[in-house]
Amino acid sequence: MSQVKADVRQFILDNFMMGGDRNALGDGDSFLDHQVIDSTGFIELVTFLEERFGIRVLDTELVPENLDSLDAIDAYVGRKLAAAH
């Protein structure tokens, strides 16, 4: 598991699943479909991503393809970090 996925998984478990089972959330599971994060939660998630990984999430990037699963976030953050170098 990538460090991005591990960090985001821990953030979600700590803030939205309140001690939930680490294995209950699959890497490709939709946060919205599984009712893990609501619209307010996505704001918290974006703030976490920006602070933890030193990226800037643009309004146009606030789409499910980038932020609706651990796999999507891992790929998105990877692209952002690669573009910064």
Domain ranges of the chain: 3-84
Q: What is the pLDDT of residue 19?
A: 60
Q: Which CATH architecture does the domain made up of 3-84 adopt?
A: Orthogonal Bundle (1.10)
Asked if 76 contacts 69 with a C-beta cutoff of 8 angstroms, the reply is no
Distance (Å, whole) CA 83 – CA 80:
5
Q: What is the pLDDT of residues 27-71, one digit of tens each?
A: 999 999 988 998 899 999 999 999 999 999 999 999 999 999 999
Q: What is the pLDDT of residue 80?
A: 96
20 confidence band (pLDDT: 50, 70, 90): low
Contacts of residue 54, defined as CB under 8 A and 6 or more positions apart, other chains included, come to 84
The CA-atom distances, in angstroms, between 38 and each of 16, 62, 78, 81 are 9, 13, 24, 26
Q: Between residues 76 and 17, which one has the greater pLDDT?
A: 76
Q: What is the pLDDT of residue 21?
A: 63
Asked if 15 contacts 38 with a C-beta cutoff of 8 angstroms, the reply is no
